[in-house]
Structure 1
Amino acid sequence: GVVPTSSVVGNDTRGYASVSIHDLGDAYTLVLLNGQRVAPFGGQLSSGALSGVDINTIPLAMVERIEVLTDGASALYGADALGGVVNIITRRDGDANEATIGWTLPKGGAREWRASAFKSVGSLDEQGQSLSLGASYMHRSALRATSRDYAKDAIKDFSYQGTRYRYADVQDATSPATIYDSGFGWGNPYQVATGGCPQGSYLYSNPYEQNFSFPLCSYNYAADIDLVPEQTQHSLMASYTREFASENRLQLDLLATRSIVTSHLAPVATRFFSGLNLPATSPSYTNYLSGLGVVDDPVNLSYRFVDLGRRGFEDQSDLLHLAARLDGRLNGWAWQAGLTGSMSQQRSDIDHAMSLNTIQRLFDDGFVNPVALPGGQTASELAAQQGAAYNGRWLSGRSLLTELQWQASRDVLTLPGGQLKWAVGANVRREALMFSPSLFAQGKLSDPASGTLATSYDEGNLRAGDVVPMVPSSASRYVWGAFSEWLAPVSRNLDLSAAVRADHDQLVGQAWTGKTAARWRPSEHWLWRASLGTGFRAPTLNQLTSPARSGGQLDGKECSADLKTLQASLGVAPCTIAGSYPLVVGSNRDLAPEKSLQASLGLKVEPVSGHTLGLDWWFVRITDRIGSVDAATAFAHPLDVPASTWTVVNTGGSPTLALSGVPGNMGNWISSGVDVDASVRRGSPWGLFDSQLRVTAILREDTQLYAGGPWASNIGDGQSGGATLKWKLAWRNSWIDGPWTHSLTMRYQSGYLDAPVSVYPLDASGQVTGAATDVRMKVSGLTVWDWQTSWRVGQGWQLTAGVINLLDTRPPLTLSSGGAYKGQQLGYDERYYDARGRMLTLEARLSF
C-alpha cells in the first residue's frame, strides 16, 4: 500500500508520500537507502502520522533495484521494522552514461515531464576507484476537480438497491452569505430575494432536513480543489567508490533532493457561531437584510470570500543524505563500518488565509459586502481583503538522524552443509526533531498580513477554523543497539539461522528481540522457508513530546442522544443539529513501546525450468499499538470510548466539545495473509514469452478500537474511513522479440463496503420524498489494464511508449469523507484510484 501525494489536498499530510507493506501502515515499514537509515519526514505529526521516509525525496531515476523484506523485524536492520523493510539500492559504478527524457499525458491536467542523466567516471577494475553522478527533474501540473465529472460536485444523485438517493455535503458558507436570525431563521437571503443561487453554489431544497430553512444555497467546494496537486522534484546524487589493498573498500554516497507540492482548496470561509457577526449599522444590513424580517443585532452569518480566490498550500520537502561505508577483512573477519548523516526538512506556505479578528475588522470597517454576488466586491473592498490576507510561511519542521554502525562476520566451524557463520554488530544513533510554526500559527499576530504582534493572547488571532495555537518544540534522543546472528548449514538441504538483538531507547527503555529462520530444500525443485521473530518499536519523538495543536475540523457529525449526554456531563451546551467539531492533537509521555510477534511460512516450486510458483503465509501481532480513537468510532459510541477521547476547547467565547487526537496504547492488532508469486518464461519461434502474476490476499486484520474495547476488522470494510483491500493482483505478460518488447498488465483490487452516509430518497422527478436514511454502499472492485511497447534502436537508443489505464476505467462511487490520509476529494477515493485516468507515456533513453 501507499500514502499518495494527492492525499495532501485538504488533509494535513504536508506533501508526504510513503509505502506500506501488507497495508500495516507506513510507520511499520522501515525504508533504507543502500542498506542505511534515512531521516524520517521532517513534517511528521503529533499523532505519529507522517513519521516514515518521504519517498517523494527518493529519486526513482537513480534507483537500480528495490529489495523488499516482508517477514518483519530484522536483527541487522532494526527491531522497529514490524511490517518489513524496503531497501532502495541506487545506481553506482556502472560503465554506461545515460540520458532520459519522458512525458506522462493524461486528459485535462496532471501532465508530467521528466528528465534525468547519469554519468560514471573511472573504473574499479582499472583505476581502483569510480565516481557516479546523477541528476533528475520532474514537473507535473495540477488536475482540477472540474476536469473529472465524477468529482466536481458536492451534491450527488445515485442509485442503490433499486432506489434513487441524494447525498449532499451542504456548505452554508457561501457568497452571498447565509445567515441565522431569530426572526428569519436559517437560510440565504439572496435566494429568498431572487429565487436562485449564484454561480458556484447549488439551489438545495429538502423539506425533510431540519438543520436549515429551505430552499438553500450550498457552496460547491468540490469544484475548487485539485484532485492531483502540482508537483516539482529536483535531485542530485554522487557515489564514490575506492578500493584499497587487502580487499578494503570505501563507499561514499551523497543525495540532495527537493520536492514541492502545491495544492488548492475552496476560498477561506467562516462558520456559524464562530464569533463573526454583521452589525445593524452595516449598509448591507440596512439596505438588504432588514426588509426580509431580520431582527437580530448583530446577525450571525456564514460567509465565503469567493472573490479572494482559492486557498493555496505549498509544501516543500528537502532531503540531504550523506553516508560513508568502509568494508575490509582482518584475521578471518569480514567487517563493515558505516556513518550516516541525514536531514529531512519540511516547510509549508499558505496563501489567502485570515484570522477571525481580521475578518471581523473587514466587516466592521465596511470592506466586505456579504450580500454581493461573486465578482461583486468593489475595487476598494477587494483591495482591502487582499491586503488583509496572509501569504507566507505557515510552519516548518526538521528531522535529523546521525548513526554510527559496525558489524563483522566470520566462519566458525565446518558443518555438513558448509561453514557455520557468526556475525555481530552494534549501532548508536541520535534522532532529533524540531517544529517551528509561524507567529500566525502560534496566534501571536493581531494583524497577520502586516506582522503586527498581539499584546495578549486572543483566540480570534488564530487562523479561521483553528481552535488551538501551535507551539514550537524540539526533542532528541539516543538509541543504542547490538546484535548477534548465526547461520548454520546443518546439511546440504537445510539451513538454520538465529539472531538476538538488544535495543535501548533513551526515552522509553530497553528491549530484547530475536528471530529464527529455516530454509529446507528437499530437492532442486522445492524450497520451504519459515521464520519466527519478535519486534520492538518506540513511540516517535512527536508522540512523546509535542505540545497540543489544532488538527482541523470534523464536519457533519450527527447530534445523537448520547452525544448530548456527553456534552452536558462536560459542561458544554448540548447540540441541537448536526455540526462540526474541532480535533486537537498532542503528545503522551506515558506511552509504552509497541511490541510485535511475526511469523512466516513459505514454499517455492520450480517443477521445470522457467516455471516457478511461490506461496508465503505471514502473520503479525502488535501489542500496545499506538494510536487514537478514530472519529467514526468516537461519534458512533461517544459514551463507550475512553474519557480521554474527548476534551473541551474554547471557541467563539464558549466551551466546545472536541475530539482528542492525543495518542495512547490502543490494545492489540493482528494481521495475516498470503502472497503468491508465479512466473512462466518460455521461448518460441516468435520470441520469448514472459508472464508474472503477483497476488496478495489479506486473511485477517483484527484491531481493538481502543484499549479493552471491542475488536473490528477493516478487511473489505470502510466503516472507520479506510478499508483494507482483501485482494490485490498484478498480472504482467510480455512478448520479447529481438529489439521489441510488448507488455500488457492487468491490475485488480477488490471492493469493499463504504462508510455509512446519510442520504435522502428521490422520486422520478429528482425531488426528495422522505427523511434521511443511512446507507452503506458496496464499492465495486477495480480492474485496470496497462500497455507498454519498448524498442531498442541500435546500440544506444531505447524508445518506450505506453498507455496506463488503457480502457480509461472510471473509479467506483464512494461517498466516504474521512479516514487516515483521506483528502477532500469527493465521489471517489484517491487512496485507491488515480484520478489521472488514461495516460499516454513516452520515454526516450540514450546510453553512450
Structure 2
Amino acid sequence: MKASRRHALAKAIQLSLLIGLPGFAAAQDAAPAREATTLDTVQVTGTRIKKAEIESQVPVQTLTRDDIERTGLTSIGDVVQELTGSGSSFNGKRNASGNDGFPSDGGGVGAGATTVDLRHLGSKRVLVLVDGIRWVNESSASGVGSSTDLNTIPLAIVERIEVLEDGASSLYGSDAIAGVVNIITRRNFDGFQLTTNFGQYTEGDGTSRGLDFAYGGSSDRATWFLGASYTKQDEVSSSDRERSRFPVPGTGLALGSSRVPGGRIAFTAPDGRKYDLVANAGQSNPTYTPGQAPCSAGVPRTDGFHCFGSNDPFNFAPFNYVLSPSERKGVFGQFRFDINDKVRWYARALLNRRDSENRAAPEPIDLGPGAGNDFAANVVIPVNHPFNPFGVQLDSSNLSILRRRPVEGGPRRFEQQVDTWFVGTGLEGTFDVGERAWFWDANLASSRNKAEQTNRGSYNAKNIATAMGDPGICAATPGCTPLNIFGYNTITPAMLKWISPVLHDRSENKLQQATFNLSGDLFEMWAGPLSFATGYEYRKYEGSYRPDPITVRGEYNGVPSLPTQGEYDVNEVYVELNVPLFKDSAFGKGLDLSLAGRYSDYSTFGGEFTPKYGLRWQVADELLLRGTYAEGFRAPSIGELFGSQSRADVGMIDPCLIGSNGAPPTGNAANCAAQGVNPGTRQVDPQISVLTGGNPNLEPERSTSFSLGFVWSPSILEDSAIAKRVDIEGTFYSHRIEGAIQAIDPQTQLNLCVQTLSPEFCGGIQRNPITDQIDGFANFLGNLSVIKTDGWDIDVFWTLPETRFGQFKLIWQNTIVGNYEAVGADGSLQPLQVGRLVSDPVTRSIPEWTSNATLEWSYGHWNASWTARHISQLVEDCGDAADFAVCKNDPQTGQNRLGATTFHDFQVGYRFDVLKGLQLQAGMNNVFGKDPPVCLACNLNGFDGSTYDLPGGGYYYLRADLRF
C-alpha cells in the first residue's frame, strides 16, 4: 500500500475511534439549546450523515411514485433505464439465451433480468441499495452474476428511487464507481390500496397485466406495511413484426445463418476436388454423383445437391422474441416498533419469484474440425452409415464443415425460474452527548437469489456422434438411432429422442451483511456544527453456477461451460465529516467542506482505501455551487475471479481470409502465410468460438471521479408572470477507471496477431491446417484497460403560475456525453465511442445527447402529462454488409447511420372521491408509433432493445388505484 494511503488509513481509524468516545464531544463547549430530536431524521443517498432536513451536498435524482406511475411501466429496471444518464443494459427486449453465449466475466447472460447502467460504465459498476442496504446480485442460471436484477424487487413496494450519478466508494464501498441506485420502500401507509393495470401494444400483442395490494397501519408505538404484487408480461414474437422477420430489414437472407435445414457439407473428394454442398429443396434422401465439377468452377450439379450460394442462408429471425415473456410474484413486509423514545426495532422481509423465457432458432448441429466440442470435432461418418450418400468415409482428413439446422426439433427455449428472498432486522436510535443528539443503527441482513434454467430444444453432441458413427456401435447402444442430417425433414421423433435432452442449469448468489453506523454533531464551530458519520460493515459473498451434468461432461452441443463456485468476505470502516467553513459572510451564505474515507479489507486481494472530498458553496439564496472529487474501486466478482472456462460465439472478420461477401483479405499477406493460410481461402463462418474464463489473480478496478455543478433558482422569475418557481441544475462529470477488468476485444486481438505475429496476441489463436479457419481462440480476463468518460447533465424544473386552466409544470432533463474512451492493454482504442453502436459481443451504444421533456398539467381532480424522449443519432460499422442499402445512408462509406429518434408518451388521469380515493389513469407510450432505426449489429431482431422502444406501434395502458 502506498505511504499516502497508509497515512490516510491511520488518520481515518484514529478519527473513527476518537469520535466513538462520548466523552470527547462532552468535553467541547456547550452547544446552544436545540429542539428535541426524534428518530425520524433524514438520510439522503450520497451522504451517511443524518440531518433533520435534506441538504443538497451532491446531485441526486429522485423518482417519486408519481414519476414512476407516469411512465406506465411495471418494472423498476425499465423505469431507471429511461433516465438520460442510463446506458445499455439487459431488459425484456434482450432475447439473450442461446445467442450471447457466456461472457468472459463469468456472470452469464442475465436472461430475463433487467439491470441498470449509469454513465455507460456497465451495470456491474452500479451499486443498488434497498433502504440503504446492499441488494444481492442476480442469478439467471447461466453464471454468477455481478449486477443486480431489478426485477427481483416489486415496483409496488417502492416509495421513491434515489439515483446518485457520482462515485461513492468512500461511502458505500465497492461497485459504486458509476453511481448508486437507492430504492426506498413504503413505510408510513394507512389503510388499504388495490391497484390493477392492463397494457397492450397497438398490434394486439405484448399484453401486460398486474395486480398490487398494499396494507399499512400504525399504533402508538408501531407501524407496519405489507405489500403483494403480481405482474405478467406476454411475449412479442419477431414473426409478429414486419421489421423483425429478417435479421436486418432490407437485407433478405444475406445476413442469415450458414446452418441450414437441408444440411451443408464442405469436404474434399478422393480426387482432390472441393465441394460445398446443400441438399436441393424438398430432398429428403438426396442422391450424390461423384466426379462432378468442384464448386469453384460454377458448374451446376445434376444430382440431389447444389453448391452453397446466396439463396441458401437460413432466416433465424422469426423464431426469436422481440419482447420476452415473464411473470413476477412478490410479497414484502416490514414492521417497526418503538421500544422507547430513543430506540426502535425493525424487521423486513421479501419473497419474489420470476418466471421468464427466452427463445432462439433451432439449435444448429456443427460437426467436423472447429466444432464446439471434441465429440463433434472428431466425428467419423463411415462409408457404411445408412444415411451417408457420398460413398466415402467423412472424418477430419477430408471434412471441412458439416452443419445442419434441425428444424424438426423446434426452437430452443430457455425457461428461467428465479427465487429471491431477503430478511433483515436491526435497531436504530439516538442518545445525547451533552446537549447534542447522536444517531446510531445496527443491522443484520441475509439475502439469496437462486435460479434454475430449463433448456429445451438443444442437443447432445456425444449422442449425435454416436448416431452418426459406426452403425454397429449405435445398434449396441441402448436408445441409439442412426441420425440422418442430409436433406430436408429427415430427423424422425426417434432420432430426436436420442439426441435432444432437457437440460437444467442452476446458479445462486448469497449475500450476508452486518453494519453499524453512528452519526451526529461533534461540536459547534464558527460557522455551524461539525457533523460526522462513521461505521463498520461486514459482508460475505457466496456464488455458484452448476450447469447440467451433460454440459459438464462436455457433451452439450451448444455453448460449453463448466461449474463455477467461490466466496469471499470483506471488513470495512468509514468516516465522513461535514466541516462548515463560513456562514453569512461577504463570500456568501455558507461554504461546507465534506471529507470521507473508507478502508476495505478483502479476503481475496487485501486492503484498499478510498477518499472523497466535496465542497458546497451557497453563494446566495438562489445560487448553489458544488463539486466533488472521489477515488473508488470495484472488487473482482466471483464470476470474474473463479469463472470457469466457457465458449462464446463472437462475430469477427478474419483479416487473412476472403470475406463472406467476397471482400479481399485485409491482413499482411506474408504474416498470413506465416500462420499457414493459403491464398484464396474464404472465411466460412463470421462467428468464431472464443474461449473465455476467470482469473483468480485479478486486482480491483480503481477509479477517480470528479463533478462540478450548480443549482440556480432565479428569484426574478419566482412568483412572476411566467413562473411560480424555476430551478436550473447543471453538473459536469468525469470518470476514469484504471485496470478495468475485461478481456481484450477479440477482433482487436485477431487484428494485432496478424499485424505483429506477437505471441502476446497470437498465443491463444490456432488455425485448422486443412481449412485455414480459426478453430481455437483463447481470450481470458485481465486488468487491461483504461476507461474515460465525461459529460454534462442539464436539468430545468419550471412551475408555471396557476391559471383558470389549471397548473402546468415543465421538467426537462438532459445528458450530453462529451467523451468516452476505452483503451486496451496494447494501447489500442476500443470500438465503443460517443455516437457509436457496437456489438462486443452484446450490443452497446452511447448517444451523444439523450433528453426527456415532460409537461405536467393538473386541474381539480384531473391530471395529464406529455413526455418526449429523445435519443441523438448513432453510427455503426457495416463490415461485410457495406453493399446493402441500409449502409448507404451515411456520408462516410461503410457506416450505417441510426437517425435521431424521439418517442412521445401521453397520460391522463382522474380522481374520484370514493372511499379514500379512486384514481383512474390511461396512457400511451410511443403515441405516434415511431419505429426504432435499423441496426446491423443487433442482427437477432434488427434494433437495439436496450436503447429504443419496440418496432411496430405504440403501447397503451389503463390503471385503477383504489384506497380504502
Normalised-by-shorter TM-score class: 0.7 to 0.9
Q: Does 1:628 align with 2:716?
A: no
Aligned residue type for 2:220: Q
Following superposition, the deviation at residue 18 of structure 1 comes to: 0.6
Aligned residue type for 1:680: W
State the distance in 2 between where 1:506 and 1:653 align. 48
Q: Does 1:502 align with 2:619?
A: no
Q: Does 1:249 align with 2:344?
A: yes
Aligned residue type for 2:139: G
Q: Does 1:740 align with 2:855?
A: no
Give the match's secondary structure for 2:280.
helix
Following superposition, the deviation at residue 386 of structure 1 comes to: 3.4
Following superposition, the deviation at residue 489 of structure 1 comes to: 2.5
Aligned to 2:562: 471
Residue in structure 2 matching 1:595, options 682, 692, 702: 702
Question: 5+ residue gaps in structure 1?
Answer: 159-165, 197-204, 444-460, 767-772, 818-823
Preserved contact between residue 79 and residue 513 of structure 1 (Cα < 8 Å):
no
State the distance in 1 between where 2:563 and 2:679 align. 34
Q: Does 1:326 align with 2:427?
A: yes
Following superposition, the deviation at residue 283 of structure 1 comes to: 5.0
Aligned to 2:875: 753
Preserved contact between residue 141 and residue 416 of structure 2 (Cα < 8 Å):
no
Aligned to 1:831: 946
State the distance in 2 between where 1:352 and 1:809 align. 35
Preserved contact between residue 326 and residue 354 of structure 2 (Cα < 8 Å):
yes
Aligned residue type for 2:447: S
The 3 A distance-change label for structure 1 pair 157 and 101 is same
Map residues 539-578 of structure 1 onto 2, 5 A cutoff.
539-552=636-649, 554=651, 557=654, 559=657, 560=665, 562=667, 576-578=681-683
Aligned to 2:215: 119
Map residues 203-222 of structure 1 onto 2, 5 A cutoff.
213-214=308-309, 216-222=311-317
Map residues 44-123 of structure 1 onto 2, 5 A cutoff.
50-106=145-201, 107-121=203-217, 123=218
Aligned residue type for 1:179: I
State the distance in 2 between where 1:57 and 1:778 align. 36
State the distance in 1 between where 2:848 and 2:95 align. 25
Give the match's secondary structure for 2:734.
strand
The 3 A distance-change label for structure 1 pair 437 and 300 is closer
Q: Does 1:339 align with 2:444?
A: yes
Question: 5+ residue gaps in structure 2?
Answer: 1-86, 101-108, 287-294, 299-305, 372-376, 472-480, 584-589, 658-664, 719-724, 887-891
CA displacement 1:275-329 (0-9 Å, x = unmatched): 456554455545xx679xxxx9989632111111111101222221112231112
Residue in structure 1 matching 2:362, options 255, 258, 267: 267
Aligned to 1:403: 513
State the distance in 2 between where 1:658 and 1:774 align. 33
State the distance in 1 between where 2:451 and 2:893 align. 41
Aligned to 1:307: 408
Higher normalized strand content (fraction of residues):
1
State the distance in 2 between where 1:206 and 1:229 align. 43
Aligned to 2:291: none
Task: Decide which moves more: 327-336 or 185-194.
Answer: 185-194
Residue in structure 2 matching 1:413, options 523, 528, 536: 523
Q: Aligned pair count?
A: 781
Aligned residue type for 2:172: Y
Aligned to 1:153: 246
Aligned to 2:55: none
State the distance in 1 between where 2:567 and 2:679 align. 42
Following superposition, the deviation at residue 416 of structure 1 comes to: 3.6
Following superposition, the deviation at residue 575 of structure 1 comes to: 9.7
State the distance in 2 between where 1:442 and 1:565 align. 41
State the distance in 1 between where 2:692 and 2:386 align. 41
Residue in structure 2 matching 1:487, options 578, 583, 587: 578
Aligned residue type for 1:319: T
Q: Does 1:188 align with 2:278?
A: yes
Q: Does 1:179 align with 2:292?
A: no
Residue in structure 2 matching 1:317, options 397, 415, 418: 418
Task: Decide which moves more: 647-656 or 682-691.
Answer: 647-656
Task: Decide which moves more: 74-83 or 88-97.
Answer: 74-83
Give the match's secondary structure for 2:495.
helix
Following superposition, the deviation at residue 368 of structure 1 comes to: 4.1
Task: Decide which moves more: 108-117 or 129-138.
Answer: 108-117
The 3 A distance-change label for structure 1 pair 308 and 712 is closer
Aligned to 1:613: 728
Aligned to 2:544: 434
Q: Over aligned residue pairs, what C-alpha RMSD do you find?
A: 3.3
Give the match's secondary structure for 1:15.
coil
Task: Decide which moves more: 782-791 or 272-281.
Answer: 272-281
Give the match's secondary structure for 2:242.
coil
Aligned to 2:963: 847
Following superposition, the deviation at residue 566 of structure 1 comes to: 7.6
Q: Does 1:348 align with 2:453?
A: yes
Aligned residue type for 2:643: S
Residue in structure 2 matching 1:816, options 913, 937, 941: 937
CA displacement 1:323-376 (0-9 Å, x = unmatched): 2231112242311111111112222210121122222344456654435534x6
State the distance in 2 between where 1:441 and 1:761 align. 40
The 3 A distance-change label for structure 1 pair 542 and 563 is farther
Aligned to 2:90: 3
State the distance in 2 between where 1:522 and 1:130 align. 41
Aligned to 1:807: 928
CA displacement 1:526-574 (0-9 Å, x = unmatched): 1111111111222112212222122345466562464998888788999
Aligned residue type for 1:801: A
Aligned residue type for 1:392: L
State the distance in 2 between where 1:116 and 1:649 align. 56
State the distance in 2 between where 1:831 and 1:155 align. 17
After TM superposition, the score normalised by the length of structure 1 is: 0.85
The 3 A distance-change label for structure 1 pair 569 and 37 is farther
The 3 A distance-change label for structure 1 pair 546 and 620 is same
Preserved contact between residue 363 and residue 558 of structure 2 (Cα < 8 Å):
no
CA displacement 1:161-187 (0-9 Å, x = unmatched): xxxxx7722423222222224457213
Give the match's secondary structure for 1:634.
helix
State the distance in 2 between where 1:601 and 1:20 align. 21
State the distance in 1 between where 2:182 and 2:872 align. 28
Aligned residue type for 1:748: H
Between the aligned residues of both structures, percent identity stands at 23
Aligned to 2:45: none
Residue in structure 1 matching 2:688, options 577, 581, 590: 581
